[in-house]
A and B are shown apart, each in its own frame.
Chain A
Amino acid sequence: MRTFLPPPPDFDAAAYVREAAKAIGLTIPPEELAEVALNLERTSGFAELLANVPGLDAEEPAPVFRPGGDAP
């Protein structure tokens, strides 16, 4: 059994973290960037697993917004 799932091919987590953090106003000290990138890379492995589930694109997502709540 694999401990962690492989990330998407060619995904450079450190470069992504460095740039995307700027988009949301998140400052990441240089000495912590590698750990943030490692965590995101771990998540990307899980995302890659989902990307390979057949036919998921056509699925209706789970949350359904109900205007007015669930009252009959």
Chain B
Amino acid sequence: MSLRQIAADVQAGRVTARQIVEDALSAIDAARDLQAATHLHRARAVACAERIDARIASGSQPGPLAGVPFAAKNLFDVEGFVTRAGSRATEANAPAGRDAFAIRALEAAGAILVASTNMDELAYGFSGENAHDGNTRNPRDLERSAGGSSSGSAALVAAGAVPLALGTDTNGSVRVPAALSGVAGLKPTYGRISRSGVTPFVRSLDHVGLFASDVRGLALAYDVLQGRDGDDPVQTPRAAKQASPGLGAGTFRAARLGGYFDAPLHPDVRAATDAAAAALGARETVLLELAEAARAASFILTTAEGGQEHLPKLQSQPERFGPLVRNRLRAGALVPATWTACAQKLRRRVTDELCALMREADILIAPATPCPAFPLGTDDWEVAETTLPIRLGIGMFTQALTLTGVPVAVVVCQGVESGLPVGVQIVGRPFQEATVLGAALHLERAGFQMAPQMREPTHA
């Protein structure tokens, strides 16, 4: 069931929130071979559902997301639990004193947290491989990556276990797993959604983002996540701007990003990008000349800030970091200031360049990843006769855009050749999420949506 169907049924009393929560917990249990959930919040979810059912029985409405079960990447604080962020380096931290702002916002609208989800350790990766919690498996093909770093959140939505999940996106950590797992995803504008209660990775690039079973569900959840939070100094002071009312009613001019974004592309990705461009009437191809440099700058800021973020524990407890992150973070902690200074200057210039392109186009279209999901454990992967170090290369198109902070949605379709999901990025102007989601809805209606891949319950 879609997010909106669940909310409508719960609001109308056709089903109880308690039943919805039980179904979601059973579905997550049936999907445990995905290694997507790291913790089930069963008691809390049931208590929350009973409160919602009591409110409905007494004639009041709990909100637009009434009874909608959701999951959150395990770097979102959940009251009473240690926020592990997929690492052992965090295990000795104190339990969270309250829920992250994003969880509070969703629950204030009637949604119910049911699970925390697996991720790349400390959000540093695109593959969903985790040395401590196991590798997240893609529901479309269990041997393949679900994409990361918000891997478990995307996988649970793709498996139909929950219709909504929270993730974070620093270089593509919502957009890559949305594309590889085959669900709709949104990285809103930098600073739009409060990050308080979210374990930081790269403070100048971290965004809260989300996955949903459909675009209208994304918009509904995005609307309640925009609340002002005095605890986040990075959050924009701009007033909330609702995306759901009139979603998809406006018109927009779309263009396609070429050049850097045109290679290497798996045939399925090229076909999807062509189809999206045609569906949105994007006849013109434009060039972001600084795209490759922007990707380089994002890489430098990420490794440098990530290294600084974790330096105290790299000094005192290095053995607690897994092998995929430990020496990358150490190298990051040693990055010369000259390199990060250049990256910040490049950030200004590429943001100006992108904004200039967007004077002529409301929406830009680009592939989300060079290829569909790759096998777990892969170092190098060939895409269109180019060998990519795939744990890094899978994010080459998302990482090039992240520096500008603009809102980007991802919608997906099934590749003809691979049979796997492929994703397209829909890029908008800063704080124009409604336009981005409107274009996403247009594409969804044109076939850019994949049905969930339900997991069959297993009986011991």
Contact = CB atoms under 8 A, between A and B. Distances in A.
Query: Are A and B part of the same complex?
Result: yes
A39 B331 contact: yes
A35 B346 contact: no
B330 A62 contact: no
Interface in A17-72: 17, 20-21, 24-28, 32, 35-37, 39-40, 43-44, 46-47, 49-51, 53, 56-57, 59-63, 69-71
B170 to A, nearest CB: 15
B406 interface: no
Contacts, number: 111
Contact of B311 (A26, A35, A36, A71): A26
Interface string B101-126: 00000000000000000000000000
A27 B334 CA distance: 12
A43 B339 contact: yes
A46 B295 CA distance: 9
Nearest to B344: A61
Q: Give the residue among A35, A50, A60 with the most B Cβ atoms within 10 A.
A: A50
A36 B314 CA distance: 13
Contacts of A21: 330, 334
Given A32-B327, A53-B293, A70-B236, A43 B349 contact: no
A3 B296 contact: no
A43 B351 CA distance: 22
B341 interface: yes
A62 B352 CA distance: 10
A43 B264 CA distance: 21
Contact of A50 (B318, B343, B351): B343
A53 to B, nearest CB: 5
A17 B388 contact: no
Contacts of A43: 299-300, 303, 331-332, 335, 339
A1 B335 contact: no
B300 A62 contact: no
Given A36-B327, A69-B233, A3 B389 contact: yes
Interface in B326-383: 326-328, 330-336, 338-339, 341-349, 351
Contacts of B296: 5, 46-47, 49-50
B403 to A, nearest CB: 8
B19 interface: no
A47 to B, nearest CB: 4
Nearest to A37: B331
Nearest to A34: B327
A59 B303 contact: no
A32 B336 CA distance: 20
Q: Main secondary structure on chain B at its contact with chain A? A: helix
B107 to A, nearest CB: 27
Contact of B389 (A4, A25, A61): A4
A28 B300 CA distance: 21
B398 to A, nearest CB: 16
A53 B299 CA distance: 16
B152 to A, nearest CB: 26
B342 A51 contact: yes
B292 interface: yes
A69 to B, nearest CB: 7
A24 B334 CA distance: 8
B299 to A, nearest CB: 5
Contacts of A5: 296
A40 B329 CA distance: 10
B387 interface: yes
Contact of A56 (B264, B331, B332, B342): B342
Contacts of B245: none
A17 B290 CA distance: 30
Given A16-B334, A62-B348, A63-B204, A39 B327 contact: yes
B446 interface: no
List the 10 closest pairs (A to B, CB-CB), nearest first: A39-B331, A46-B296, A61-B344, A62-B347, A59-B345, A47-B339, A40-B331, A50-B342, A70-B237, A35-B327
24 contacts: A3-B388, A3-B389, A26-B330, A26-B333, A26-B334, A28-B330, A36-B327, A43-B335, A47-B300, A47-B336, A47-B338, A47-B339, A47-B342, A50-B296, A50-B339, A50-B342, A56-B346, A56-B349, A57-B345, A59-B346, A62-B351, A63-B204, A70-B236, A70-B237
Interface of A: 1, 3-5, 16-17, 20-21, 24-28, 32, 35-37, 39-40, 43-44, 46-47, 49-51, 53, 56-57, 59-63, 69-71
Given A49-B292, A49-B296, 17 more contacts: A21-B330, A25-B315, A27-B315, A27-B318, A36-B331, A36-B334, A37-B331, A39-B328, A47-B296, A50-B342, A59-B346, A59-B349, A60-B348, A61-B345, A62-B347, A69-B237, A71-B237
